[in-house]
Amino acid sequence: MVSAEPRTTAPVLAVDQGTSGTKALVVCPERGVIGSGSADVRPRYGPGGTVEVDPARLLASVVDAGRQALAEAGEPVAAVGLANQGETVLAWDPVTGTPLTDAIVWQDRRAASVCESLGEDEAQELRDLTGLPLDPYFAAPKMAWIRRETTREGVVTTSDAWLVHQLTGAFVTDAATAGRTQLLDLDRVEWSPRALKIFGLDGERLPRVVDAAGPVGTTSAFGPELPLTGLLVDQQAALLAQRVTEPGTAKCTYGTGAFLLAQTGDRPRRGSSGLVSCVAWRLGGRTSYCLDGQVYTAASAVRWLTDLGIVAGAADLDRVGSSVPDSGGVTFVPALAGLAAPWWRADLRGSLTGLGLETGAGHLVRALCEGIAAQVVALADAVAADTGAPLSSLRVDGGLTRSALLMQTQADLLQRPVEVSALSDATALGVGAVARLGVDPSLGVPDAVPDRKPAAVYEPRVPAGVAQERLASFRAAVDALTARAAPQPAGPAAGATLPPGQAQAQARARAQAPASGGSPAGVPGVSDVS
């Protein structure tokens, strides 16, 4: 049954459906997390950049994790909130809800052929309309690929629309998730007929775009009949949980990938440094925007090292890495699924350079940490260029923030304090806050999202000159990768500031699976966030 407690104090069920698993929490505003549950998903990795997952497993993971959390809490909840992966898509029958394809995960690169078929003018037009560069990472190229290569039947949507339909029968998506498709008019926050036409998707039936907070329908999937009142894409949910609600503030989530988002206020900011401009959330009919930068492989690169036997899992990074004082001159560009912002080079593959007979496991671990951190620095620099002000600090969350080595490396290369969130499951807590707002519209964001002190703060320990040397080595390695790759005549040199619609529109070929030794799913000790 639905909780009879006052709405402002009753717990809510918050479900984070991520790349490699689903995490559910029962969250009480006064007592914190009182119940939790989890379920694996395990995507499948194949040739040509294929990354797929069985939709039935997505739904089962949501239900299983939610039921576990409710059982552990042992008390009724007021509502449910659901966070989703964002760019993962599938085709399905809107009458029966039956999937017509597997879900194509956000890391899948097969839609590169769709991007290649579009011209520079169309790429620029899409960037102007939607705020997003042309890249197979986003949902629309995948949707077009499904229509070209698999089926014309049913509807094709992001995974959240299917999950919500399975739970409640509603056909909706929240504004922030819609903004990850490359089909949403960024200024009007509605579907763009022109973007649909460019992708050959005109005439498609799309879900209704709704606010993040508000009644969507009811579901009995978790046992008692519960209202679904919160919907939000994963990274924006973490942004809200971190209270990054004012312009000039930013957070980075370290999960399967790493994702840096910076709040820009009530107007979209279309920069020229290779970042994505997108909807942060829409609450009460008012839209907030953010700049978004992505690192495709973080925990998935750790999984790659795990599969090779270098580490026993993410929890082993600090032990192995602390066995040596530095990377020993090894530079790792972990482009195991291509490079995202600010380079937008889906065609690139990773590299390890500077190896010698003395190179050991500790050097490789430190090189990986530096490779992840260097990409995040590039994102932070792009935020500073686009907003006109450097970040004063960086708030971070996600499973990989448990690694003191990675966090210290991040502070060293960023030359700014890194504040590790006390919220180990920021995405779930963020969508839980949204669900609470949907139950009680009288609440404000500060009421739903309590301010918490960081669990740890990492200050830079190396001089700025040392940090610049390490960053220069990383940039040189990226330059070497781009020099070996097929030329992209419309794009700038790797690492340069990206003019809108140039290098982004020229992504060529298909990135390979992120690990030849196995999938990056289920990294031990990591709560994956897509």
Who's near 359: CB < 8 A, 6+ residues apart? 328, 330
Give the confidence band of 487 by pLDDT, cuts at 50, 70, 90: low
142 pLDDT more than 80: yes
Task: Determine contact, residues 46/83, Cβ cutoff 8 Å.
Answer: no
510 pLDDT more than 80: no
Looking at residue 393, its pLDDT comes to 82
Q: What is the pLDDT of residues 144-158, one digit of tens each?
A: 999 999 999 999 999
Looking at residue 391, its pLDDT comes to 86
Task: Determine contact, residues 111/144, Cβ cutoff 8 Å.
Answer: yes
Domain 12-234 shares a fold with domain 296-388+463-506: yes
Looking at residue 497, its pLDDT comes to 32
* pTM confidence score: 0.83
Average pLDDT, integer, range 303-318: 96
For the chain, the first-to-last Cα distance in angstroms comes to 32
392 pLDDT more than 90: no
Q: Which amino acid is at 144?
A: A
Smallest CA-to-CA distance from 90 within 110, 112, 105 is with 105
326 pLDDT more than 80: yes
Looking at residue 287, its pLDDT comes to 96
Give the confidence band of 414 by pLDDT, cuts at 50, 70, 90: very high
Treating both helix axes as pointing N-terminal to C-terminal, what angle do 234-241 and 426-439 enclose, rounded to 10 degrees? Answer: 80
Looking at residue 424, its pLDDT comes to 73
CATH topology of domain 296-388+463-506: Nucleotidyltransferase; domain 5 (3.30.420)
Before 136, cis peptide (omega within 30)? no
Q: Is the dihedral of CA 42, 45, 51, 57 positive or negative?
A: negative
Task: Determine contact, residues 401/407, Cβ cutoff 8 Å.
Answer: yes
Q: What is the pLDDT of residues 365-382, one digit of tens each?
A: 999 999 999 999 999 999
Smallest CA-to-CA distance from 102 within 171, 46, 174, 164 is with 46
The residue among 339 and 502 whose pLDDT is bigger is 339
Question: Rounded to an integer, what distance in angstroms lies between the CA atom of residue 124 and that of residue 121?
Answer: 5
Looking at residue 162, its pLDDT comes to 99
The distance from CA 5 to its chain's CA centroid, rounded to whole angstroms, is 34
453 pLDDT more than 90: no
Cα angle vertex 2, ends 445, 173, to 5°? 50
% of the chain exceeding 70 in pLDDT:
90
Task: Determine contact, residues 49/40, Cβ cutoff 8 Å.
Answer: no
Owner of token pair 């590299």: 351
Looking at residue 231, its pLDDT comes to 98
Smallest CA-to-CA distance from 522 within 69, 44, 159 is with 44
Give domain limits for the chain.
12-234, 296-388+463-506
Q: Is 360 helix (H, G, I), strand (E, B) or coil?
A: coil
Looking at residue 244, its pLDDT comes to 85
Looking at residue 29, its pLDDT comes to 86
Smallest CA-to-CA distance from 419 within 369, 454, 449, 451 is with 454
Average pLDDT, integer, range 286-302: 94
- Domain range 12-234, CATH class: alpha beta
